[in-house]
Structure 1
Amino acid sequence: MTAKSYARSINLPTENAFKNLQTARRFAIDVGGSLAKLAYTATVHRKTSLVSEESDDDGSLYQVSDTDETIVRLHFVKFETKFIESCLDFIQQQSDATKSPLREKCIKVTGGGGYKYTDLIQEKLGVQVDREDEISCLINGCNFLLKNIPDEVFTYQRHENPEYKFQAVDMNVFPYLLVNIGSGVSFIKVESEDKFERISGTATGGGTFWGLGSLLTKAKTFDDLLNLAEKGDHRNVDMLVKDIYGGAYSTIGLKGDIIASSFGKAARSPRTPSQSEEHNFKEEDLARSLLLSISNDIGQLACLYAKLHSLKKIYFGGYFIRGHPLTMHTITFAINYWTKGEIQPMFLRHEGYLGAIGAFLKGATEEDADKYSWEENFAGSSGLAHPKPSRQVLSTTDSEFDKLEFDRLEKNLLPCPLLLDGDSYLPDTVDLTQDTLAREYWLQCFKDSIEKQEEQAIKSQSTVDGAEKRAGQFKHKYLDRLETLERNPCAYGSLNVRGLLDMRSHCLKEFNFTDPYSQQKQFENEQALKHLPKRLKDLDALDNTEERTFALARGLLAGNVFDWGAKEVAAIMEKGDFNFEDAESKLQDRPWLMDNYDDWMKKRSCSKNYKCCVIFCDNSGADIILGVIPFARDLLKTGTKVILCANSKPTLNDVTFQELSIILRFVSLICPVIGKALSEGKLVAMASGQGSPCLDLRYIDHDLVNKMAQEQTDLIVIEGMGRAIHTNFEAKFKCDCLKAAVLKNRWLAKRLGGEMFSVVFKFEQGTA
């Protein structure tokens, strides 16, 4: 059997099934009665730009060269359990074809099928099977998702807009109740990483729905039955309160449309062939009634156990859920009814992989678990199913719901310790799932910019074979994602500008365009360094403190104008004659659109100086060299330690940590103040842990987190439109914070009440 026929047999698109098997290692598999989920890590090799100080003889600031980057990626493949033998054969054939035998000689297996298929797995793959407890794997997988993946948790309200509402990452994960609905149902109380218990269960679950549904209808599969239920009207089968009382039963608080008896009308209706047509129940009505009956019972039991154990959070998962809108709607209705709205049932975007993730983690060493964080690869993952149109639901096997990939980050990421309330912190300023006008504008904006991104990608690798083809593939992939989001804004979690930018970066990297602006950044850094001596001399000539402080603030803003991610500015910069003075002349005159400069000036002129300032930098070139560095230099001269934070990974023309480190060494040759501060450790460059034009302070480099605490940081400066406007505009901190940005998008400026090049200079004192 060919690879293509295998892919068809397990209902997965050929190009996405079993990716990177030639470098696969550490397999884990969750074998259920109906579905099996395979997890494995693989190394993905791609080209990236390496920045080094070993420059050529042409006077370049640094050398940019292409090098191989290795990414560890966690892949998941879901298939029907009945095809497990074909799946294992395919894995072994691929291993033989690439002459790369499975590196791990032990495979973690969980789920009921772990016992049934032990001998088959050992025979086909030549590995030892290590069976893991199913409940333990479920909990490990759930904890992993809750702590690592943003927008993992959501509530579902079918008749609201948007229907999906994603929850902020809850740093206080425990305790919670996990209701796992498979063939039967398990209720699991989770109190900590290693303390949990199955407090009860019921035999009335997904198997009951499927079994009775098969007897009552002609549906052949679980999804066929759900699709029938989607079209049905349970009121034709169920007996309602109003069918008994003629209306509501107000004395005990029962509304007329509440179900009094599931299938109650069937008991009073003749069912012989000679009876009239009106008493022949439709299959879709029977399926709907059955779904509601089982969902209501599960919901009531979940509420009772949650109350009994004083649990406020209930997560639902299992084969019965699988992101199906109608199923989530019936569960939500039941929970809301039984708790009178006090508890909202919560669902997980990736709940179908809990067992596989948990089994994989069982095979990971303690060192691995502590050392790394994981990030969803949006270029290789799929989103939630579209909830509409409600009566034309596609089967989940026809959707992209089952594709999932995680990339391992090289360092563990932690929340910023200076956030005033980390539990309620949300980085994004605008929720595009709720703001229709903003969503329509930004989706179109990113569509309109795709040609320029494709052109830049090709330009960055003009001497590399296949660059044009790969750039076209990137364009197709990203446009496909944007069209998906047009149809279903909640497909990948909460929708915001940050997500659109990050998704574009993921798609670029998927086709080996890791740093399309590397040469452009190098050129601009070299040019800016030539102008730095005069810039510092002009500032030092300002004897008046107020005048110098204002000049530094304007310089910080002027540098931020140089942004290749802003379409209108990029058009100006492409002409090649736009300099720092031109940027200053573009700035809005005071009073600025948001103007806390007087408060900033007052704080800077007081006798007490800051102990340590953390600056989250934005762009390369004039921004970092002529704007940020003089600003930081002034702080250093007053005795403040300064930490300059740059992206760990490249995106657009943002300065990276590698580039910043080299820039500072060259600046130290120009400026003795910078040189001395670097040598004494009073000026430090650090990686932020980010790879985005925006800034998510829930996930920053753990070394930076420790440094912030160690140095008693009392000032944060967030620079740039992405970091200070699209994200963190409303963020509150324990310490003082300055958010500085120039609005380089005409639509956004108008929406905020300003014009192009309006200034946001937002200074807030700490509230701790």
Structure 2
Amino acid sequence: MAKSLLHMISNDIGQLACLYAKQHNLSQVYFGGFFIRGHPVTMHTITYSINFFSKGEVQALFLRHEGYLGAIGAFLKGAEQDNPNMYSWGENYAGSSGLMSTSPDVYPMQRSRSGTFDMLEMDRLERQLVNLPLLFDPSSYVPDTVDLTEDAMAREYWLTCFEDALEGVAKRAVASQLDAKDAVERAEKFQQKYWNKLQTLRHQPFAYGSLTVRSLLDTREHCLNEFNFPDPYSKVKQKENDIALKCYQKVIRTLDALGWDDKQFALVKGLLAGNVFDWGAKAVSDVLESDPEFGFEEAKTKLQARPWLVDSYCEWIKRLKGPPHKCALIFVDNSGIDIILGVFPYVRELISRGTEVILACNSGPALNDVTYNESLIVVERIAEMDSIIQSALQSEKLILVQTGSSSPCLDLSRLDKGLAMLVKERNTDLVIIEGMGRAIHTNYYAVLQCESLKLAVIKNSWLAERLGGKIFSVVFKYETPPK
């Protein structure tokens, strides 16, 4: 009887909300309140009701942490007096408890519902984040390629993937702080906390809102930071940068000795080979840990032969035979071989064609991704060996900027305002996005107002098979803006 009453009231709420939405030509309805908070049955019934009565034209949406909305609103209103245009806000997933289950069978660590509220931790980011001005339609832009709340098979795979990688991440965190006596203890706490969050998501995929590969990666980074492991790959990155820098001049000499057609293919192949060196991919990290001799040339042999899984190379070469681009914005991925032997030779080629280059790197560390501060050191050392790069820096035809992100993925709706302004000032007409996190997990379907190159090596067997390929398949996607 109680369940029937609950269904009746929920359906009634859904029908009334649907009627009001139709009356005012609204396509979305947001629901909040204690009757709904943390009750999946209520949310499901209202969603079904809205969908049924509107014939799919109206969408029901629910707010996480809605019990805090008034407090957050009052806080943000007060914060307006503190130069709010100088920074942005971001949710910290490590401090967010999500939607706790009421059933001990579903989630054994549940809390008593009476008088409790879910936690919500907001980070005040140092810089203001805005849309990339080159997004074709910012209002319809969704960074994530797959919604794991709806794709059960993908969700099961990725949750298991992150669980299996957890022990290795914890070991890497300890190795980065061997001098710290409590490193092992903190790593164990990190491991337990992140594991608990993964179990919550197995039973309640919507517990932290939209569930994507990006949110899983960001949650892991937030948990590492909470237990004072801000950059577990710092020593690895420094070592790999030193090794790659020693090979830079040899790579440039080899490229310069080639004819134009061969050189263009070698440059692209170098970009792709460099992207293999991603410690976030288990297949790669296993190789790098077991074979210290695995390097740039070995990575080239791993690449899929043409035709690639996604292959727009011929269209790209045809475009290069036309007039040079005015300015290229490049979102880079990993430290070491990726940026030094893959990206910088390509930057050098673009500059030689007369194209200005904006090189965008993460503001903060994530996995072995290169950060803005690290890129400044790398480019200074490259400039000492390369007069073209040195001249471009001096004339500001090459500018290094930070993205405002500390994620292995890329949200083009939350970029550093300084980067956005520079993109406008330079009349940027080419965007290059490299790496699985930035070009596959996010932005694969992003539509831009200018030409774009999205390229990556698929370093995950399951994902490669799902896309119709094998591990180390290549995505080289050249796109022109829609008319």
CA contact (8 A) 1:524 1:622 kept: yes
For 2:454, the equivalent position in structure 1 comes to: 739
Q: Closer, same or farther in 2 for the Cα pair 1:513/1:761, shift >3 Å?
A: same
CA contact (8 A) 2:328 2:429 kept: yes
What TM-score results when the alignment is normalised by the length of structure 1? 0.59
Query: What do residues 609-640 of structure 1 show as CA deviations (whole Å, max 9, x unaligned)?
Result: 10010000000001000000000110000110
For 1:435, the equivalent position in structure 2 comes to: 151
Q: Closer, same or farther in 2 for the Cα pair 1:515/1:292, shift >3 Å?
A: same
Query: What do residues 674-724 of structure 1 show as CA deviations (whole Å, max 9, x unaligned)?
Result: 000001111011101111111111111111111111111111111011111
Query: What do residues 134-175 of structure 1 show as CA deviations (whole Å, max 9, x unaligned)?
Result: xxxxxxxxxxxxxxxxxxxxxxxxxxxxxxxxxxxxxxxxxx
CA contact (8 A) 1:645 1:657 kept: yes
The partner residue of 2:251 within 526, 529, 535 is 535
For 1:706, the equivalent position in structure 2 comes to: 421
The partner residue of 2:225 within 497, 509, 520 is 509
CA contact (8 A) 1:385 1:401 kept: no
User: More helix per residue: 1 or 2?
Assistant: 2
Query: What do residues 473-502 of structure 1 show as CA deviations (whole Å, max 9, x unaligned)?
Result: 000011111111111111112222111111
For 2:4, the equivalent position in structure 1 comes to: 233
The partner residue of 1:717 within 418, 424, 432 is 432
Query: What do residues 528-586 of structure 1 show as CA deviations (whole Å, max 9, x unaligned)?
Result: 111101111111111x2111111100110111111111112112212211121111121
CA distance in 1: counterparts of 2:163 and 2:298, whole angstroms: 29
CA distance in 2: counterparts of 1:341 and 1:568, whole angstroms: 42
Equivalent positions of 1:272-671 (< 5 A) are 288=6, 292=8, 302=17, 311-329=26-44, 331-332=46-47, 342-386=57-101, 397=113, 402-542=118-258, 544-574=259-289, 575-606=291-322, 608-671=323-386
Q: After TM superposition, give the deviation of residue 326 of structure 1 in Å.
A: 4.0
Residue type of the partner of 2:79?
A: A
CA contact (8 A) 2:38 2:101 kept: no
Query: What do residues 177-214 of structure 1 show as CA deviations (whole Å, max 9, x unaligned)?
Result: xxxxxxxxxxxxxxxxxxxxxxxxxxxxxxxxxxxxxx
CA contact (8 A) 2:271 2:342 kept: yes
Q: Closer, same or farther in 2 for the Cα pair 1:297/1:622, shift >3 Å?
A: closer
CA contact (8 A) 1:380 1:405 kept: yes
CA distance in 1: counterparts of 2:22 and 2:275, whole angstroms: 53
Please, which moves more after superposition, 502-511 or 412-421?
412-421
CA contact (8 A) 1:382 1:401 kept: no
CA contact (8 A) 2:329 2:428 kept: yes
CA contact (8 A) 1:376 1:407 kept: yes
CA distance in 2: counterparts of 1:674 and 1:434, whole angstroms: 46
**SS class of match (2:263):** helix
Equivalent positions of 1:196-235 (< 5 A) are 229=2, 232-234=3-5
Q: What root-mean-square deviation, in Å, do the aligned CA atoms of Structure 1 and Structure 2 show?
A: 2.6
Query: What do residues 93-124 of structure 1 show as CA deviations (whole Å, max 9, x unaligned)?
Result: xxxxxxxxxxxxxxxxxxxxxxxxxxxxxxxx
CA distance in 1: counterparts of 2:156 and 2:195, whole angstroms: 14
Equivalent positions of 1:86-97 (< 5 A) are none
Identity %, equivalent residues = 55
Q: After TM superposition, give the deviation of residue 329 of structure 1 in Å.
A: 4.8
CA contact (8 A) 2:332 2:361 kept: yes
CA contact (8 A) 1:593 1:760 kept: yes
CA contact (8 A) 2:26 2:58 kept: no
Residue type of the partner of 2:359?
A: L
What TM-score results when the alignment is normalised by the length of structure 2? 0.93
- The gaps in structure 1 that reach 5 residues or longer are 1-227, 235-287
Q: After TM superposition, give the deviation of residue 328 of structure 1 in Å.
A: 3.5
CA contact (8 A) 1:324 1:385 kept: no
Residue type of the partner of 1:448?
A: D
Number of paired residues? Answer: 481
CA distance in 2: counterparts of 1:392 and 1:642, whole angstroms: 51
Higher Cα Rg, which structure: 1
CA contact (8 A) 1:325 1:387 kept: no
CA distance in 2: counterparts of 1:589 and 1:340, whole angstroms: 48
CA distance in 2: counterparts of 1:690 and 1:392, whole angstroms: 33
CA distance in 2: counterparts of 1:442 and 1:421, whole angstroms: 29
CA contact (8 A) 1:413 1:702 kept: yes
Residue type of the partner of 1:573?
A: L
CA distance in 2: counterparts of 1:446 and 1:759, whole angstroms: 23
**SS class of match (1:654):** coil
CA contact (8 A) 1:292 1:330 kept: no
Is residue 2:442 matched to residue 1:727? yes
Q: After TM superposition, give the deviation of residue 316 of structure 1 in Å.
A: 2.7
